[in-house]
Structure 1
Amino acid sequence: MEIQSGLSKKELKAERRAKQERERALKNAKKAEKDNSEPKRKTQQNARISSNIQADDPKVMKRTAKKMEKEQIPKRVEGPKKVGLFSHLHQYQRSVSITKALGFGGTKIHPSVLRLGLHYAEGVISGSNARCAALINAMKDVVTDYVTPPDKELSRHLESSIKPCITFLNQCRPLSVSMQNAIKFMKAQINKCKSDWSEDDAKSKLCESFDNYVRVNIHLAGEAISKFARQTIKSGDVVLIIGGSSLVNRVLIDTHNAGCNFRVIIVDGRPKHSGIGALQKLTKAGIPCSYSLITGITFLLPEVTKVMYGAHGLLSNGYVVGAVGTSLVSLAAQSQNIPVIVCCETYKFCERVQTDSIVNNEIGDPLDLLATDGCAANATLVNYDSWNALDNLKVLNLTYDVTPPDLIATVVTDLGMIPCTSVPVVLRLKNLEAD
């Protein structure tokens, strides 16, 4: 039977089926194109995030150089000689100041950020908490002096204005975990600014939220950690600490002031010798202390009852990022069945996963290790001024260690004492609280 269109039912059915197939194929093609574009965007985002650990990738470095040129940020001078195993990391060398190429009034970087970056590069400000608090204070100055351009929204334009500041600070010294989390918080607070707010109200609320972040995550968190950690130290204990940590110093001084009698052994190492500052603070508080280099750790452990140190960050897989030497001391303590206690604020928890100190680390200035420190033996071994002429000499100055959770007895946080494996739970709770 024929239809008015001149086609039979069978032909119409075949035409409809062909039309459906074409529409289905077009829909699948669009979906595949969308799926392919999302991983590409994620890959680009991850490449930007991990540019600090891809110093040997020409494409990444070219993209980074183009970004820095756009933001008018000078590139810091790389070290002339790198250790092959760590060639993917940046190795800066102390030479000409990074601000030499910046002209007067021709930069987008706030003067407070310039001063802070130089303090980072020269080691004037060190330690996770100190660096994070200084960053917050510098960004408060940026927000206070910020003026929204015409036809622009503060929540959109301010975030783009602080990007060159963050890039400059990252050039001076790679961002710590605490600083990265603080930057995420600041950007989130900027995005929360409503369009109907006046500029003065928005800036006032931003500065207030920045102050509250420091107060809650550093000051109040340190007070809570001191309260919890005090329970782990008993009279007669011999506590071994590594280097100098402001949080651990506070815990020990508060415990001593509470009437607990114990002794502290400080192990330290080159090049920073940060344990000398801890030794001065603890002895001034009246705590009996002993000081030794880390090379004598095996001779000290038989009299040690507890090992305690601070952390620069806790990773999602439970690994602890600490000052170089913490992994060695933790391993030695486990061999003697001595509990290792880590003190860390929860704002230093991060979602990054790492199992060694090679993939991601910070390489310090090699000249710090070549300094003679008044030792004639070192002076005859290495010429401080012309060590580059020694082709076979390459110096590696690592900043951080990564300690596996198997070596850690407990982590004292502002939420209480938890195992290292509870980091994902804390991160999930923090994300829910932020939402």
Structure 2
Amino acid sequence: MVEEQAQTSQAKPQAPAQVSDSQKAEKAPAAAADGASKGSDDKKLSNKEMKELKKKEKAAKRAAQKEAIGISPEQQAKNAESKIEKKKSSATNTNLKKQLDQTLIKDQGGKRIPAIFSHLETREQRNASSPSISHIVHPAILSLTLKYSTYKIVGSTPRLKNMLEVFKVVIRDYETPANTTLTRHLTGHLSHQIEYLKTGRPLSISMGNAIRWLKQEISHISIDTKEQQAKETLCEKIDDFIKEKIELSGQVIIENASKHITDGSTILTYGHSEVLEKLFKYCVIEQNKKFNLIVVDSRPLFEGKRLLTNLVNTNYNPDGEGLDSEVESIASSRSIKSQPITHENLKIHYVLINSLSSTILEDVDCVFLGAHAMLSNGRLYSRVGTGLIAMMCHARNIPVLTCCESVKFSDKVQLDSVTTNELADCDDLVQDINSKKPPQKKSFALEQFIKQCEEEKESKNKNNNKGKQQQQKKSSPEPDAQADDSTPLKDWKNISHLNILNIMYDLTPPEYIKKVVTELGALPPSAVPVILREYKNT
């Protein structure tokens, strides 16, 4: 018994020593809390101090739990420091990767962009997102994107019409997956197609309005509707949209704008607009008017050349009936009198914008301009060079009219052409500088493949090519000098502090525009918000 009491008396003081290491951290904040509660009568703790106390309590509990497992406080401190270092390194690595990616894309191929336009998206940046979703893109969208990027389809209205026609094909070939509904899954499926479509060229304002309308129509379809019936109704609504918002509204605009063209007048236009082309044909064929037309054009797309060729190749019956290219062969076989509209009624002058002098503007009676979009503050967003012509005509008191459908109206407000614009390839302004052909561009993937092949050939035949080049330079130095003189911007990428900018659109203030001709009538630019409100209500 005496031995047992001695053992118990020896064991009693050891127990608190074992517990004290693990429970000291728990008792310390508790004692502090008790002391704080006792002294609360004298001074109340603020919210910040209470949060700090709670944080300390939680940290002490975690430390006690880790100590119970067998992790010492020194190891805990080392683990915490390593975690903080990992977070910092990962954050810096991601930021460095983003910066490197941006610089690689910005300077890819030696292309330099001025700092003021550095926020605009380049073609390489648009193509960066295409490989991730290319496997779910419809073939019709692939071909349309290629046509957009190679400028086979140019203009806001043709791009909108072709997009809606392709959407009809996508909807017809669409099949709803299991355990989903058409109203929910089709919207996401179309979003993937639209994302790939953006890689060719950014969407126009009219295309954005049509996409919002189509998604709204998809959301209105009932869940109980059969899939085939829902697809047929959507295709019918797309046809109705094309007929009402593009074709019929264009006919009304042509009838309203034709009142401003009189016999013997001189009309000036810039670039190519589908509505204006139909307007000039309507005035000659239907109304038998005789007038002069000045087509102003600019590099690198030369859209005015397309308007010129379409007007020159249009034939009509002098009695008042127009003839298409297919009907012309039938008319010749039946000996029907047909002649081009440029024979007597229409005289066309083709001028480049850099040679447009004041002598040409002296005889102009009216100016008709196409539109990419009309903004809610009354400004015209159109092909670059439109603002220059509108300003020159306003200085000479020449009325400027804009033909624009209501589907091209936007509720955006923009004060300059820098914040949002489309950045085209710089090489389009340098290559074939003396030609009058639009740029023939290749696809982005094909360009990368060609570059790879060229680099491989250069690495293999580098020494042989150097010897040949030296012999050619010795034998014929004069042609090289002539080539350098004829193409001063041939090696512009090697010239420091030289940037070439190729933007697609500019902004025209409402003071330079007299009327905006829409399907609702000829209205001033200040009436754009009213038309937008009516368009949203319908």
Higher alpha-carbon Rg: 2
Pair 413,306 (structure 1): closer, same or farther in 2 beyond 3 Å:
same
Provide the residue aligned with 1:308 in structure 2.
368
Aligned structure 1 segments of 4 or more residues deviating by more than 3 angstroms: 75-80, 97-103, 373-379
Provide the residue aligned with 1:144 in structure 2.
172
Question: Shift of residue 373 of structure 1?
Answer: 3.8
Q: Output the amino acid matched with 1:380.
A: T
Given that 2:270 and 2:386 are in contact with CA atoms closer than 8 Å, whether structure 1 keeps it comes out as yes
Provide the residue aligned with 2:456 in structure 1.
none
Kindly provide the CA deviation profile for residues 146-176 of structure 1, in whole angstroms up to 9, marking residues without a partner as x.
1111121111110011111111111221111
Within the candidate set 198, 220, 238, 2:266 is matched to 238
Provide the residue aligned with 2:306 in structure 1.
277
1:171 is paired with a residue whose SS is coil
Q: Output the amino acid matched with 2:514.
A: A
Q: Output the amino acid matched with 1:84.
A: A
Measure the CA separation in 2 of the matches of 1:324 and 1:377: 29
Within the candidate set 355, 374, 381, 2:488 is matched to 381
Question: Shift of residue 283 of structure 1?
Answer: 3.0
Given that 1:334 and 1:407 are in contact with CA atoms closer than 8 Å, whether structure 2 keeps it comes out as yes
Given that 1:94 and 1:365 are in contact with CA atoms closer than 8 Å, whether structure 2 keeps it comes out as no
Measure the CA separation in 2 of the matches of 1:377 and 1:401: 33
Provide the residue aligned with 1:289 in structure 2.
348
Provide the residue aligned with 1:366 in structure 2.
426
Question: Shift of residue 228 of structure 1?
Answer: 0.5
2:185 is paired with a residue whose SS is helix
Provide the residue aligned with 2:293 in structure 1.
264
Q: Output the amino acid matched with 1:405.
A: P
Question: Shift of residue 76 of structure 1?
Answer: 11
1:417 is paired with a residue whose SS is strand
Pair 149,76 (structure 1): closer, same or farther in 2 beyond 3 Å:
farther
Given that 1:78 and 1:91 are in contact with CA atoms closer than 8 Å, whether structure 2 keeps it comes out as no
Question: Shift of residue 419 of structure 1?
Answer: 0.9
Measure the CA separation in 1 of the matches of 2:140 and 2:261: 41
Pair 378,238 (structure 1): closer, same or farther in 2 beyond 3 Å:
farther
Pair 339,78 (structure 1): closer, same or farther in 2 beyond 3 Å:
farther
Residue 159 in 1 paired to residue 218 in 2? no
Measure the CA separation in 2 of the matches of 1:148 and 1:94: 32
Given that 1:125 and 1:131 are in contact with CA atoms closer than 8 Å, whether structure 2 keeps it comes out as yes
Provide the residue aligned with 1:4 in structure 2.
none
Query: Unpaired runs of 5+ in structure 2?
Result: 1-93, 314-340, 436-482
Question: Shift of residue 296 of structure 1?
Answer: 2.7
1:88 is paired with a residue whose SS is coil
Pair 411,377 (structure 1): closer, same or farther in 2 beyond 3 Å:
farther
Pair 164,220 (structure 1): closer, same or farther in 2 beyond 3 Å:
same
Measure the CA separation in 1 of the matches of 2:262 and 2:203: 37
Given that 2:130 and 2:196 are in contact with CA atoms closer than 8 Å, whether structure 1 keeps it comes out as no
Provide the residue aligned with 2:121 in structure 1.
90
How many residues align? The count is 359
Measure the CA separation in 2 of the matches of 1:93 and 1:251: 38
Provide the residue aligned with 2:406 in structure 1.
346
Query: Unpaired runs of 5+ in structure 1?
Result: 1-57, 66-74
Given that 1:225 and 1:343 are in contact with CA atoms closer than 8 Å, whether structure 2 keeps it comes out as yes
Question: Shift of residue 78 of structure 1?
Answer: 6.2
Larger helix proportion, structure 1 or 2?
A: 2
2:198 is paired with a residue whose SS is helix
Given that 1:307 and 1:338 are in contact with CA atoms closer than 8 Å, whether structure 2 keeps it comes out as yes
Given that 1:239 and 1:305 are in contact with CA atoms closer than 8 Å, whether structure 2 keeps it comes out as yes
Provide the residue aligned with 1:134 in structure 2.
162
Matches within 5 A, 1:34-433: 80-92=111-123, 101=131, 107-257=135-285, 258-284=287-313, 285-286=341-342, 287-297=346-356, 298-374=358-434, 379-383=486-490, 386-433=491-538
2:199 is paired with a residue whose SS is helix
Measure the CA separation in 2 of the matches of 1:277 and 1:77: 34
Given that 2:122 and 2:424 are in contact with CA atoms closer than 8 Å, whether structure 1 keeps it comes out as yes
Kindly provide the CA deviation profile for residues 207-234 of structure 1, in whole angstroms up to 9, marking residues without a partner as x.
1111111111111111111100000111
Measure the CA separation in 2 of the matches of 1:430 and 1:172: 29
Kindly provide the CA deviation profile for residues 367-397 of structure 1, in whole angstroms up to 9, marking residues without a partner as x.
11011344778842111xx543333221101
1:341 is paired with a residue whose SS is strand
1:342 is paired with a residue whose SS is strand
Pair 424,99 (structure 1): closer, same or farther in 2 beyond 3 Å:
closer
Measure the CA separation in 2 of the matches of 1:197 and 1:101: 35
Q: What TM-score do you get using the length of structure 1 for normalisation? A: 0.78
Q: What TM-score do you get using the length of structure 2 for normalisation? A: 0.63
Q: Percent identity?
A: 35
Measure the CA separation in 2 of the matches of 1:195 and 1:378: 69
Measure the CA separation in 1 of the matches of 2:162 and 2:140: 10
Measure the CA separation in 1 of the matches of 2:395 and 2:434: 36
Kindly provide the CA deviation profile for residues 301-321 of structure 1, in whole angstroms up to 9, marking residues without a partner as x.
101011111100000111011
Measure the CA separation in 2 of the matches of 1:305 and 1:282: 20
Given that 1:77 and 1:93 are in contact with CA atoms closer than 8 Å, whether structure 2 keeps it comes out as no
1:280 is paired with a residue whose SS is helix
1:396 is paired with a residue whose SS is coil
Measure the CA separation in 2 of the matches of 1:204 and 1:224: 29
Given that 2:123 and 2:199 are in contact with CA atoms closer than 8 Å, whether structure 1 keeps it comes out as no
Measure the CA separation in 2 of the matches of 1:362 and 1:395: 14
Question: Shift of residue 281 of structure 1?
Answer: 2.1
2:487 is paired with a residue whose SS is helix
1:138 is paired with a residue whose SS is helix
Measure the CA separation in 2 of the matches of 1:326 and 1:269: 10
Measure the CA separation in 2 of the matches of 1:267 and 1:94: 33
Kindly provide the CA deviation profile for residues 234-267 of structure 1, in whole angstroms up to 9, marking residues without a partner as x.
1111000001111111111101121111100011
Measure the CA separation in 2 of the matches of 1:76 and 1:398: 16
Measure the CA separation in 2 of the matches of 1:262 and 1:377: 45
